[in-house]
Amino acid sequence: MTQEYIEIRGARENNLKDVSLRIPKRKITIFTGVSGSGKSSIVFDTIAAESQRLLNENFSMFVRNFLPRIPQPDADGIENLSMAVIVDQKRLGGGSHSTLGTITDISPLLRLLFSRVGRPYVGHASMFSFNDPQGMCPECNGTGRRLRVDMSKAIDKSKSLNEGAIMLPGYTKDSMDLTMLVQSGPFDPDKKLSDYSEAELEELLYGKAKKVATQFGGKTVNITVEGCIEKFSNKYIKKDLKTYSERTQQTVAPYISEGICASCHGARLSQAALNCKINELNIAELSSMEIGQLIRVMREIDDPVAAPVVKSLTERLQHLVDIGLDYLTLDRETDTLSGGESQRVKMVKHLSGSLVDVTYIFDEPSVGLHPRDVHRLNELLQKLRDKGNTVIVVEHDPDVIKVADHIVDVGPHAGSHGGTIVYEGSFDGLLEAGTLTGSYMKRLLQLKSDCRQPSGKLSIKNATLHNLQNVSVDIPTGVLSVVTGVAGSGKSTLINDVFLRQHPDAIIIDQSAIGVSTRSNPATYTGMMDDVRKAFASANKVNQGLFSFNSKGACENCQGLGVVYTDLAFLDSVKLPCEVCGGKRFKEEVLTYKLNGKSIAEVLEMTVEQALAFFQLKEVVRKLQALCDVGLNYITLGQPLSTLSGGECQRIKLASELHKKGSIYVMDEPTTGLHMSDVDHLLEMMNRLVDAGNTVIVIEHNLDVISLADWIIDMGPDGGSNGGQVVFEGTPAQIIHAKQSITGRYLMNAVN
Ligand code: ADP
Ligand code: ADP
Ligand code: ZN
Ligand code: ZN
């Protein structure tokens, strides 16, 4: 008899207050609740952690001796757990040798196809692999790229040699290198390079080594001189740069950039492999084709020998289309995929696999998906369930929450104000439950009517990077602009690549991790820790250094971390509480010094909210208030930044920026990890920034944010080569009537 529920009794990880619940097996259960309410504490720190621990127990005693004991999650009991697979948003690393094709196992099938029916006939399938010495381009070792001198940084043709036209190190006026180069020509050192003839320029930059006679200390000596680019690349590019000192590497690195390999043109493969074709196309051409088009090309192959391979290929490609990744190409390097794209790729891998009775755990899988494509995600979750798996999802998007068989709403609020289950049951029940989530689900959107007038504009002209189709667009200043469009339409390319390259002074508030060291926490990050240390020092008349994690006041066993990390070759590193200080991080002696009755360890255990009641110091209060304003009242001052979610990191960054004026802020999907009520909070913050005279540019799919923008730039019409254009610019009230805008259509539905 199979068990029908995963059962959890008395869970107490982080903020959980003795939580007990049952999760139906072979169903979709969705966890909802405000950020910091305890969803991850249940799903990841309790369920997934216990599953990992059980997995380790399966190893033989011999292997287990090498594994650290993973502590049991703090709970009275966890039962009927099947193996858990976590499908998260961690980027797929892997460097240039890992591509969408290799990671989905589609590339080996494509190679097999070419070895069977490609003409002229080539050897073996491995001849088509850029990871195989047989198949890789010998010039670039299968990377498709070569290092080269970045000419825009090396040479300024609008100047003469004496004015500094050669920007490479060593060629200043009257320098030895420049003097010899001028003599070797002869070149006119006062003529602008733009006035040089082509032959002169060729010789100046790329001239091969030759001996030049010169006077040195009264004698005639012969010195070898070569063109400046030629010399630089012989010295630093053709050799391994890593053999030079770190200082030299740093000096020359700015002049070196990566370009496409001239031999294989980026295809990474040997000429023999590239000459082999199916229907006039070689394997590199197929790999650089968008999945949506590739699948059509596959269907046109009608060779009985190829049929079985073509069938598996199209099946796998179809999975990628189904999850809305049809705009990607197989040769796309996995480390350039966004978090949301990475998660969807991982999802596809599992769908092709044949595991059953697995517990799949997803962390906000809707990230990066336009409302138009959310149904594709829902279908995928349902497919996994229908194969006999248990699906557990942490999600904020109402359109995903709707497909749950079972909903667990965690709350009522964050941190110590959360940690309980406020509702369990069906979606319809949630709407009537009166919880924060339930009431937000019923809300209709309001379109912003009193949009701000811009104070000026920032122009992007003729952008063509990636799929951008010669885009020229103005971004208004002094307002809240939202950039929208389906996944792959070109939003990040336009803003994160093109715009930010022109405006490197813009402040990026993203969700990337912020810990400078493992000892970083909200108190050190905001700078509040300095004031706190001073206060402790003067209250006790001792040196303030004692209260620092990296001083001799810190616990010696854990170096002030409170935990000890054990690294393992094939598992994530495991964290165990420090046995000496018991997690308090300081030496006994330091803990005897008090400030208003509290030790430094006790202060670091305070939540922002508690600290606000405790401190009167003006600077400390201002920083604490800023953390409260971004909704982080529930985090503790000493919580390691590495334990904060992406959304929490983003809000800490926001808190430390709130007092600035006249800046440009760029945020990429800031609503990730945020409950609908948290989104209201975030919008308040963004509006405060704009009211203080800043420009805020946001990439978003969240309809609440879009509906309250001052200005919308909608990219499209679709993803990949079918996108890359601005299809709409204007206000929320205008976009719902714009026929060409998919975003407008979905916004219209949400207000009605
Ligand atoms: P959610 O997933 O709902 O956003 P979490 O489960 O991540 O919430 O967090 C619940 C509470 O526990 C929050 O106050 C959070 O700051 C805290 N917390 C999470 N992880 C840790 C940790 N490793 N150490 C200390 N506190 C933590
Ligand atoms: P969005 O932000 O709207 O989801 P992107 O700007 O990420 O869209 O992508 C636009 C197009 O550019 C897509 O076809 C995508 O595959 C491609 N693209 C994005 N980043 C890269 C990259 N680093 N290398 C190659 N192509 C890329
Ligand atoms: Zn090459
Ligand atoms: Zn310790």
Q: What is the ipTM of this complex?
A: 0.94
Position 430 pLDDT exceeds 60: yes
Among 8, 12, 13, 14, residue to substitute to test ligand 1 (most atoms within 8 Å of Cβ): 14
| Residues 566-592 pLDDT 10s | 655 444 556 778 889 988 999 999 999
Residue 14, ligand 1, Cβ within 6 A: yes
Of residues 145 and 71, the one with the higher pLDDT is: 145
Residues with CB under 5 A from ligand 3 (ion): 137, 139-140, 261, 263-264
Range 622-636 average pLDDT: 90
Burial tier of 243 (Cβ tally within 10 Å: 0-12, 13-18, 19+)? exposed
Specify the range with the lowest mean pLDDT, choosing from 239-243, 435-439, 493-497: 239-243
pLDDT, one tens digit per residue, over 221-245 is: 888 999 999 999 988 887 767 778 8
**What confidence score (pLDDT) does residue 563 get?**
81
Stretch 489-503: mean pLDDT, rounded? Answer: 94
The pLDDT value given to residue 570: 47
**Predicted confidence band of residue 492 (pLDDT cuts 50, 70, 90):** very high
Residue nearest to atom 15 of ligand 1 (CA): 36
- Evaluate whether 752 touches 729 at the Cβ level (below 8 Å): no
* Whole-structure pTM value: 0.81
**What's the distance, CA 422 to chain centroid?**
32
Q: Where are the alpha helices (DSSP H) in 353-473?
A: 374-386, 398-401, 427-432, 436-441
Query: If residue 79 lies in a helix (H) or strand (E), which one and from where to where?
Result: strand 77-79
Q: Residue of the nearest CA to atom 27 in ligand 1? A: 14
CB atoms near residue 452 (< 10 Å): 16
Q: Nearest C-alpha to atom 27 of ligand 2 is from which residue?
A: 466
Distance 448 CA to ligand 4 centre (A): 53
| CA of residue 698 relative to chain centroid, distance | 16
| pLDDT score of 196 | 94
**What is the 8-class DSSP label of residue 20?**
E
| Tens of pLDDT, residues 349-379 | 887 776 778 999 999 999 889 999 999 999 9
Which residue reads 């993803």 in tokens?
719
Q: Is the CB of 104 under 6 A from ligand 2?
A: no
Kindly state if the Cβ of 493 falls inside 6 Å of ligand 2. yes
* Mean pLDDT across 536-563: 89
- Residue 334 Cβ contacting ligand 2 at under 6 Å: no
- Taking the CA of 336 as reference, the closest ligand is 2
Average pLDDT, the chain: 90
| Mean pLDDT computed over 726-746 | 96
Residue 713 Cβ inside 6 Å of ligand 2? The answer reads no
Residue with token string 């699948």: 295
The pLDDT of residue 53 is 85
The rounded Å distance from CA 722 to ligand 2 centre is 12
- Among protein residues, the one whose CA lies closest to atom 17 of ligand 1: 14
Whether the CB-CB separation of 57 and 435 falls below 8 Å is answered with no
Q: Is the CB of 634 under 6 A from ligand 1?
A: yes
Q: Tens of pLDDT along 40-63? A: 999 999 999 998 888 877 777 666
Ligand 4 centre and the CA of 153: distance in Å?
49
Lowest mean pLDDT among 102-116, 259-273, 704-718: 259-273
pLDDT at position 742: 95
- Residue 630 pLDDT more than 50? yes
> Does 29 sit in the ligand 2 pocket, CB within 6 Å?
no
